[in-house]
A and B are shown apart, each in its own frame.
Chain A
Amino acid sequence: MIELSAIRKVFNSGRPNEFTAVDGVTLSIDSRKITVLKGPSGSGKTTLLGIIGCMARPTSGRIQLTGPLTQAVTFSVKGAAAEVTSLPERFLTEIRRRAFGFIFQQFNLIKGITVLENVMLPAYPMGEDFKLLRERASRILSDLNLSGKVFSKVEWLSGGEAQRVGIARALINDPAVIIADEPTAHLDTKLSGEFMGIVERLKNEGKTVIIASHDPIVFDAPIIDRIVEMRDGRLSGGPQQQ
Chain B
Amino acid sequence: MKWLEKQRYIIDFTLSSLLRRKTKNIALTLVYTLVVFVLASVMFFAEAIKKEASIILRDSPEIIVQRLAAGRQELVPMGYIEGIKKIRGVQSVRGRLWGYYFEPLAGSNFTLMVQEGGAEKGKIVVGKGILRSMRASEGDILSLKSYKGDWVVLRIMGALSSDSELVSSDLILISEEDFRSVFDISKGYVTDLTLQVRNPRELPNIAQKIKDLYPDTRPIVRDDILRTYNSIFNWRSGILLVIMAAAGLAFIIFAWDKASGLSAEEKKEIGILKAIGWETSDVILMKFWEGTVISLSSFLAGIILAYFHVFFTSSTLFGPVLKGWSVLYPNFRLTPFIDEAQVTTLFFLTVLPYTVATIVPSWRAASVDPDSVMR
Say whether A108 contacts B373, CB under 8 Å: yes
Given contacts A47-B371, A108-B373, A181-B374, contact A89 B3 (CB under 8 A): no
User: With A and B bound together, what is the CA distance between A125 and B278 in angstroms?
Assistant: 7
Count of A-B contacts judged by CB separation below 8 Å: 90
B201 at the interface (CB under 8 A from A): no
A105 at the interface (CB under 8 A from B): yes
> Could you say which residues of chain B place their CB within 8 Å of the CB of A93?
277-279, 370
Say whether A104 contacts B282, CB under 8 Å: no
Say whether B276 contacts A121, CB under 8 Å: yes
For residues 15 through 74 of chain B, which have their beta carbon under 8 Å from a beta carbon of chain A? 16, 19-20
Contact of A124 among B9, B20, B370 (CB under 8 A): B9
B119 at the interface (CB under 8 A from A): no
User: With A and B bound together, what is the CA distance between A113 and B275 in angstroms?
Assistant: 17
> Could you say which residues of chain B place their CB within 8 Å of the CB of A169?
276
Say whether B5 contacts A127, CB under 8 Å: yes
User: What would 6 A/B residue contacts be, using CB atoms closer than 8 Å?
Assistant: A46-B371, A90-B279, A108-B373, A112-B16, A128-B2, A169-B276
User: With A and B bound together, what is the CA distance between A241 and B295 in angstroms?
Assistant: 57
Q: Which of A104, A106, A124 has the most CB of B within 10 A?
A: A124
Say whether B16 contacts A113, CB under 8 Å: yes
Chain A interface size range: 35 or more
Say whether A125 contacts B374, CB under 8 Å: no
* A21 and chain B: residue at smallest CB distance: B375
B202 at the interface (CB under 8 A from A): no
User: With A and B bound together, what is the CA distance between A109 and B2 in angstroms?
Assistant: 26
| Nearest-Cβ distance from residue A133 to partner chain B, whole angstroms | 9
> Could you say which residues of chain B place their CB within 8 Å of the CB of A97?
277
Say whether B281 contacts A104, CB under 8 Å: no
A122 at the interface (CB under 8 A from B): yes
Contact of A56 among B3, B10, B269, B370 (CB under 8 A): B370
Say whether A104 contacts B279, CB under 8 Å: no
Contact of B370 among A50, A90, A173 (CB under 8 A): A50
Residues of B whose CB lies within 8 Å of any CB of A are 1-6, 8-10, 13, 16, 19-20, 265, 268-269, 272-273, 275-282, 369-371, 373-375
Given contacts A90-B279, A90-B281, contact A126 B370 (CB under 8 A): no
Residues of A whose CB lies within 8 Å of any CB of B are 46-47, 49-50, 55-56, 89-90, 93-94, 96-97, 102, 104-106, 108-113, 117, 121-130, 169, 173, 181
User: With A and B bound together, what is the CA distance between A96 and B6 in angstroms?
Assistant: 18
User: With A and B bound together, what is the CA distance between A222 and B20 in angstroms?
Assistant: 44
Given contacts A110-B269, A112-B16, A126-B6, contact A173 B277 (CB under 8 A): yes
Contact of B276 among A102, A111, A112, A117 (CB under 8 A): A102
Say whether B370 contacts A108, CB under 8 Å: no
User: With A and B bound together, what is the CA distance between A181 and B275 in angstroms?
Assistant: 12
* A112 and chain B: residue at smallest CB distance: B20
User: With A and B bound together, what is the CA distance between A218 and B97 in angstroms?
Assistant: 105
Q: Which of A46, A49, A111, A121 has the most CB of B within 10 A?
A: A121
* B269 and chain A: residue at smallest CB distance: A110
Say whether B370 contacts A127, CB under 8 Å: no
* B20 and chain A: residue at smallest CB distance: A112
> Could you say which residues of chain A place their CB within 8 Å of the CB of B370?
50, 55-56, 93, 96
Q: Which of B3, B280, B371 has the most CB of A within 10 A?
A: B371
Say whether B374 contacts A105, CB under 8 Å: yes
Say whether A104 contacts B13, CB under 8 Å: no
> Could you say which residues of chain A place their CB within 8 Å of the CB of B369?
55-56
User: With A and B bound together, what is the CA distance between A112 and B263 in angstroms?
Assistant: 15
| Nearest-Cβ distance from residue A183 to partner chain B, whole angstroms | 12
Say whether A125 contacts B279, CB under 8 Å: yes
* A93 and chain B: residue at smallest CB distance: B279
Say whether A130 contacts B5, CB under 8 Å: yes
User: With A and B bound together, what is the CA distance between A50 and B374 in angstroms?
Assistant: 8
* B371 and chain A: residue at smallest CB distance: A50
User: With A and B bound together, what is the CA distance between A109 and B265 in angstroms?
Assistant: 12
User: With A and B bound together, what is the CA distance between A55 and B273 in angstroms?
Assistant: 12
Beyond A55-B369, A96-B277, A125-B278, 17 extra complex contacts between A and B, CB < 8 Å? A49-B374, A55-B275, A55-B374, A90-B279, A93-B279, A94-B279, A108-B272, A110-B272, A111-B20, A126-B6, A127-B1, A127-B3, A127-B4, A127-B5, A127-B6, A128-B2, A181-B374
User: With A and B bound together, what is the CA distance between A127 and B5 in angstroms?
Assistant: 5
Given contacts A124-B6, A127-B4, contact A102 B275 (CB under 8 A): yes
Contact of B278 among A106, A112, A124 (CB under 8 A): A124
> Could you say which residues of chain A place their CB within 8 Å of the CB of B280?
89
* A212 and chain B: residue at smallest CB distance: B374
User: With A and B bound together, what is the CA distance between A154 and B175 in angstroms?
Assistant: 84
* A47 and chain B: residue at smallest CB distance: B371
| Nearest-Cβ distance from residue B24 to partner chain A, whole angstroms | 14
Say whether B275 contacts A108, CB under 8 Å: yes
| Nearest-Cβ distance from residue B265 to partner chain A, whole angstroms | 8
| Nearest-Cβ distance from residue B19 to partner chain A, whole angstroms | 8
| Nearest-Cβ distance from residue B262 to partner chain A, whole angstroms | 15
User: With A and B bound together, what is the CA distance between A124 and B276 in angstroms?
Assistant: 11
* A175 and chain B: residue at smallest CB distance: B277
> Could you say which residues of chain A place their CB within 8 Å of the CB of B273?
110, 121
Say whether B278 contacts A126, CB under 8 Å: no
Contact of B6 among A50, A90, A112, A125 (CB under 8 A): A125
> Could you say which residues of chain B place their CB within 8 Å of the CB of A56?
369-371
* B16 and chain A: residue at smallest CB distance: A113
User: With A and B bound together, what is the CA distance between A47 and B278 in angstroms?
Assistant: 19
